[in-house]
Amino acid sequence: MTMITLTINGETRQLDVDPSTPILWVLREQAGLSGTKFGCGIAQCGACIVHLNGNPIRSCVTPVAAAANQAVTTIEGIAGARPHPVQQAWIDEQVPQCGYCQSGQIMSAVALLDANPDPSDEDIDLAMSGNICRCGTYPRIRRGIKRAAAHLRALQEDSSNG
Amino acid sequence: MGKWTRRAFITTGVLAGGAVIFGIAIRPGNRAAKLAGLVAGDDETLLNVWLKISPDNTVTAIVPHAEMGQGTHTTLAMMLADELDADWNDVRMTEAPAHEEYANYALAKGYLLEDPEFPGFLVDTVDGFFLLATKWAKLQITGGSSAVPYTGMLAMRVAGASARAMLLQAAADQWDKPVESLIAERGMVREIDGGLSATFAELAPRAAGVPAPSNPPLKTQEEFRIMGTSVPRLDIPAKTDGTAIFGIDAVVPGMKYATIRQAPVFGNAVKSVDESSIENMPGVRKVVTLDGAVAVVADGYWQAKQALDKLAIEFEKSDNDTREQSDIYEHFAEVLDAAKTNGEEEIDFASGDADAALAGAARRIDAEYRVPYLAHSPMEPLNCTAWLHDGRCEIWTGSQNPLGFAAEVAGALEIELEAVTVHNQFLGGGFGRRAFPDYAVQAALIAAEVPYPVKLIWSREEDTRHDFYRQATISRFSAGLDSDSKPVAWLNQFVDKHEPVEATRIPYAIDNQKIHYATSRTHVPWGYWRSVDHSLHGFFTESFIDELAHAAAQDPYEYRRDLLTDQPRFRDVLDLAAGKANWGAQLPENFGRGIGLQKSFGSYVAQVVEVEITDGKPVVRRVICAIDPGFAMHPDGLIAQMESGIIFGLTAALYGEISIHRGAVAQSNFHDYRMLRMNESPAIETHIINGGGKVGGGGEPGTPAIAPALVNAIYDATGYRIRELPISNHKLGPGGLESKDVA
Ligand code: FES
Ligand code: FES
């Protein structure tokens, strides 16, 4: 066991862990953040996606040592005073069914929109095809991303106009 | 009392164990004290087992079903709130604890049986297989029959209407006014032409003392205020911010983690475990050997997993160890052949004289289809947290059948049912899998070996290899066509029949039919899989009717339509789907269009698929779906279920294959048991007909018609008829088949 320092959702934490443990299990079992999910354990499904320094990674195959002294953002950390526009779009489009994959879907969608404020269908396919949804919410995820993108662009215009 | 009536319903509840059941008055001091304690806090009056009215006028609906993602909780609450005339914004949900008295609510097997129409009353937008699973497990929950979810739905409405009537009566008594002069509206009772008004909460204590109405009138469709609207689902916000708690997220102070390896070949026992192979591995607490499985308990899942991977385990051998998938299919074929000669075939359905009609037909068409085993693969791997203490066992899990789980756990631990408490959590997908309690029993048995709570988490590999699988089968058809190419004989023989009985039936007017089957159980465990037998028979029958249309050189839609002479609701969905799909319009090159039709769980569904063939692979571009569920309680929820069922069915049709190699499942995770992904997901349009009559299901009916619609579209595009799923085993070209069984 080794002491590792991680900044999780803006909060710096010292964790006594085996450095080869995937971040997923450290988040869920040590940090008490269960929003990040286990789906396959082999980088196939995306249920475990979190952001490392803003980039989406699969926490089930990323050892915690690789994140030492860096910033991890999970589903619990993306809302401000109000839900993140992606979360709001998910509610507006009634996206989730069982909901289990949705933390990973939302983290992928947030990363997509951070990089590309106006994604095409092909961009969405590319960014989101690493996330499996067994309940088949893909059509709604697509609509949710477009709605969130429009909302984010409107916010940006507001702030640049004002 | 030959007819099922609401009066009988209410009476039954009272008779069946108590006033608890439908006893509108559950309050301290009556026989249901134990139950009342579970749901009534201070200052709350429990009007009836289905709902609770709190002092702040919130109405809590007590829903007897787990939320798997279909919006079950919301739909049930809507039905109750509408009949009650509650204010929807004040409605809350709580899932009934897995407590015997809650299961008992249900009803009335006797009454169900006395109403021949009832089994068709499929008000489930819910989990249709819950019911089948209950039967399978022979749980026979008191009063519980296969119709729990359906009755639950009706009971919700009756409960709401009863409570409303009692609240109105309470107000009438209090104000000394005729009840006809009062009206209930958004959580209040008020005078129609006067100033008196009171909230439900103010009236509730008095209402609890009013006798239950014997036959409360239910609203007609025109009077619905909430039913039939798409209110936002209650469970969704928590599913966008990580706060929804699934079974795998349960936290019990002091718990450790376990993971498990089961004998790869079903049924084989553990021969030996060499614990020295994991000596000194960090965090490892204990190795537990169960029937055919070994679990490692450790401080964390990862440590348990690492140790289990290293642990030297030897399993016993059996005759099944050499079994291959090809042996299973061969065996099926033998059984089918033999059944014809030795008379061991079971008649499923017969009309006219199919053999004679076939012999006398102008033309004869034959085809054989096969489908593989399928796994459920819910997104959340199976898991259960168990804690044995003080002679009791508590479990935290996601279950489609909490009381059944409690019963199985009690049996395994040899303790009383009352000593088991199930804390049911959100289900990360069920599709039938979470009706089987194997993982809860394992967790309880592991927990029995240690002095702390244990969370058992299966790896995805175990989930794939130790499911209860949708059956593999072979289905053979022969049809006779007359000189006008109309079918006059329909013969179908297949392996293994499960449920529902009508899954093999066709809606087409063919006078002479013989549908029969032979039984051939294999060592592969069987389970209810979304839409159950419809998932395969829909593929078989809707492929074969398409083959007949093509043999007749007729348009497959028109051919079907002409045979739906007495089936207006089938015809309506068929016409709607074809019309919306612009059936008959020219498609681009390498495109094809196909149609499928299936009624399941009380809902009529037609689907049109548009497919494009690129690089020998089918790409599904668009799906048009028409559904007549009788009445759509929550239209947007129904649309979501159609999308979900279609993608589930497409996944199976395109990729789904569990195969047996050396007696074990060859697949293990999502790389070799593929799921449809975003880039493969077609545009889906759903159109709803409120055709009237009994309300049909939503969770399953989207699945059965999509596989045949897709293979029919592929035939349209290529001239190649796929008779064996999955489609990914076939390589296609614009001119038809190029090669088969590509690696
Ligand atoms: S759990 Fe990490 S990708 Fe599936
Ligand atoms: S919502 Fe259930 S897996 Fe995506």
Question: Which pLDDT tens digit goes with each residue over B567-601?
Answer: 999 999 999 999 999 999 999 999 999 999 999 98
* Of the listed ranges B95-99, B550-554, B618-622, the one predicted with least confidence: B95-99
Predicted pLDDT at B64? 55
The answer to whether residue A157 scores a pLDDT higher than 60 is: yes
Q: How far apart are CA B314 and CA B311, in angstroms?
A: 10
Same domain, A72 and A126: no
Q: Which residues of B are less than 8 Å from A36 in CB distance?
A: 242
Predicted pLDDT at B3? 25
Length of chain B: 743
Who wins on pLDDT, B142 or B343? B343
Check if B379 has its Cβ closer than 6 Å to any atom of ligand 2.
yes
Contact B268, B107 (CB under 8 A): no
Q: Which residues of B are less than 8 Å from A15 in CB distance?
A: none
- Is B666 exposed, middle or buried, given 0-12, 13-18 or 19+ CB atoms closer than 10 A? middle
Question: Which parts of B225-382 are beta strand (E)?
Answer: 256-262, 270-274, 284-290, 293-298, 312-315, 346-351, 363-371
* Of the listed ranges A34-48, B52-66, B716-730, the one predicted with least confidence: B52-66
Same domain, A96 and A57: no
Q: Are strands B59-63 and B91-95 parallel, antiparallel or unpaired?
A: parallel
The 8-class DSSP code of residue A21 comes to S
A107 touches chain B (CB under 8 A): no
User: H/E element holding B53?
Assistant: strand B51-53
Beta-ladder partners of A13 = A6
Averaged over B142-167, what is the pLDDT?
57
* Of the listed ranges A111-125, B304-318, B707-721, B726-740, the one predicted with least confidence: B726-740
Predicted pLDDT at B130? 28
Alpha helices in B288-347 (DSSP H): 301-310, 325-342
Of B239, B243, B636, the CB nearest to A96: B239
Look at A99 and B457 and tell me if their CB atoms are within 8 Å: no
Q: Which residue of B has its CA nearest to A47?
A: B379
User: H/E element holding A152?
Assistant: helix A138-161
Check if B579 has its Cβ closer than 6 Å to any atom of ligand 2.
no
Check if A141 has its Cβ closer than 6 Å to any atom of ligand 1.
no
Contact B336, B493 (CB under 8 A): yes
Of A25, A38, A103, the CB nearest to B242: A103
- For residues B683-699, one letter each, b for 16 or more C-beta atoms within 10 angstroms of the residue's C-beta and e for the rest, the string is ebbbbbbebeeebbbbb
Predicted pLDDT at B149? 38
Ligand 2 atom with the shortest distance to the CA of A134: 3
Check if A75 has its Cβ closer than 6 Å to any atom of ligand 2.
no
Which residues fall within 8 angstroms of residue A118, CB to CB, at 6 or more apart? A149, A153
Q: Are strands B256-262 and B454-457 parallel, antiparallel or unpaired?
A: parallel
Same domain, A69 and A115: no
3.30.365.10, 2.160.20.80, 3.30.70.990, 3.40.50.720: CATH of B247-318+382-457: 3.30.365.10
Instruction: Find the ligand nearest to A103 CA.
Output: 2
Check if A48 has its Cβ closer than 6 Å to any atom of ligand 1.
yes
Same domain, A26 and A93: no
Q: Which residues of B are less than 8 Å from A125 in CB distance?
A: 678-679
Check if A135 has its Cβ closer than 6 Å to any atom of ligand 2.
yes
The answer to whether residue B743 scores a pLDDT higher than 50 is: no
Predicted pLDDT at B66? 58
Instruction: Find the ligand nearest to B379 CA.
Output: 2
Q: Is B82 helix (H, G, I), strand (E, B) or coil?
A: helix
The Å distance, Cα B302 to ligand 1 centre, comes to: 14
pLDDT confidence of B62, banded at 50, 70, 90? low
The answer to whether residue A15 scores a pLDDT higher than 80 is: yes
Of A36, A90, A138, the CB nearest to B681: A138
Look at A39 and B636 and tell me if their CB atoms are within 8 Å: no
Q: What percent of chain B has pLDDT over 90?
A: 66
Q: How far apart are CA B373 and CA B524, in angstroms?
A: 9
Look at A135 and B429 and tell me if their CB atoms are within 8 Å: yes
A117 CA to chain B: closest CA distance, Å? 19
Ligand 1 atom with the shortest distance to the CA of A132: 4
B302 touches chain A (CB under 8 A): yes
A77, A100, A119 - which closes a domain: A77
Ligand 1 atom with the shortest distance to the CA of A43: 3
Look at A132 and B378 and tell me if their CB atoms are within 8 Å: no
pLDDT confidence of B51, banded at 50, 70, 90? low
**Which residue is associated with the tokens 């809860």?**
B440
**Beta-carbon neighbour count of residue B618 at 10 Å?**
25
A161 CA to chain B: closest CA distance, Å? 30
A58 touches chain B (CB under 8 A): no
Length of chain A: 162
Q: How far apart are CA B82 and CA B93, in angstroms?
A: 14
The answer to whether residue B148 scores a pLDDT higher than 80 is: no
**B590's tokens:** 């390498």
Q: Is B71 helix (H, G, I), strand (E, B) or coil?
A: coil
CATH topology for B11-238 is: Aldehyde Oxidoreductase; domain 4 (3.30.365)
Same domain, A46 and A64: yes
Predicted pLDDT at A103? 98
Instruction: Find the ligand nearest to B248 CA.
Output: 1
The answer to whether residue A159 scores a pLDDT higher than 70 is: yes
* Of the listed ranges A64-68, B23-27, B413-417, B687-691, the one predicted with least confidence: B23-27
> ipTM of the assembly?
0.98
Same domain, A71 and A128: no
- For residues B352-366, one letter each, b for 16 or more C-beta atoms within 10 angstroms of the residue's C-beta and e for the rest, the string is eebeebbeebeeebe
Look at A74 and B242 and tell me if their CB atoms are within 8 Å: yes
Who wins on pLDDT, B110 or B673? B673
CATH number at residue A109: 1.10.150.120
- Is B389 exposed, middle or buried, given 0-12, 13-18 or 19+ CB atoms closer than 10 A? exposed
Please name the amino acid found at residue B708.
P
pLDDT confidence of B435, banded at 50, 70, 90? confident
A74 touches chain B (CB under 8 A): yes
Question: Which parts of A1-83 are beta strand (E)?
Answer: 2-8, 11-17, 49-52, 55-58, 71-73
Q: Which residue of A has its CA nearest to B398?
A: A98
Averaged over B648-661, what is the pLDDT?
98
DSSP B9-27: HHHHHHHTT-TTTT-S---
pLDDT confidence of B698, banded at 50, 70, 90? confident
A34, A50, A77 - which closes a domain: A77
Same domain, A38 and A72: yes
Alpha carbon dihedral B116, B118, B120, B123, in 10-degree steps, equals 170
pLDDT confidence of B490, banded at 50, 70, 90? very high
Q: Which residue in B111, B73, B458 sits closest to A98, CA to CA?
A: B73
Averaged over A31-54, what is the pLDDT?
98
The answer to whether residue B495 scores a pLDDT higher than 70 is: yes
Domain count along chain A? 2
Q: How far apart are CA B606 and CA B507, in angstroms?
A: 12
The Å distance, Cα B528 to ligand 1 centre, comes to: 26
Of B233, B379, B679, the CB nearest to A47: B379
Ligand 1: residue of A27, A28, A44, A134 to mutate (most ligand atoms within 8 A of CB) is A44
Number of A/B CB contacts below 8 angstroms equals 182
pLDDT confidence of B139, banded at 50, 70, 90? very low
Check if A133 has its Cβ closer than 6 Å to any atom of ligand 2.
yes
Look at A98 and B68 and tell me if their CB atoms are within 8 Å: yes
Domain limits at A128? 85-161
**Beta-carbon neighbour count of residue B612 at 10 Å?**
18
The per-residue pLDDT for range B74-93, each reduced to its tens digit, is 887 888 889 999 999 988 87
Ligand 2 atom with the shortest distance to the CA of B378: 3
Check if A8 has its Cβ closer than 6 Å to any atom of ligand 2.
no
A29, A44, A77 - which closes a domain: A77
Averaged over B636-661, what is the pLDDT?
97
Same domain, A25 and A62: yes
Beta-ladder partners of B262 = B293
Best residue in A1, A40, A48 for a mutation probing chain B (most B CBs within 10 Å): A40
* Cα B307 to Cα B38, B168, B569, distances in angstroms: 42, 64, 58
For chain B, give the mean pLDDT: 83
B280 touches chain A (CB under 8 A): no
Look at A79 and B427 and tell me if their CB atoms are within 8 Å: no
Q: Which architecture, in CATH terms, is B328-373+469-729?
A: 2-Layer Sandwich (3.30)
A53 CA to chain B: closest CA distance, Å? 20
**Which residue is associated with the tokens 């796994």?**
B375
Averaged over B245-260, what is the pLDDT?
97
The per-residue pLDDT for range B722-742, each reduced to its tens digit, is 999 999 999 886 555 554 443
Predicted pLDDT at B22? 30
A60 touches chain B (CB under 8 A): no
Q: Which residue of B has its CA nearest to A135?
A: B644
Of A42, A99, A106, the CB nearest to B669: A42
Same domain, A61 and A110: no
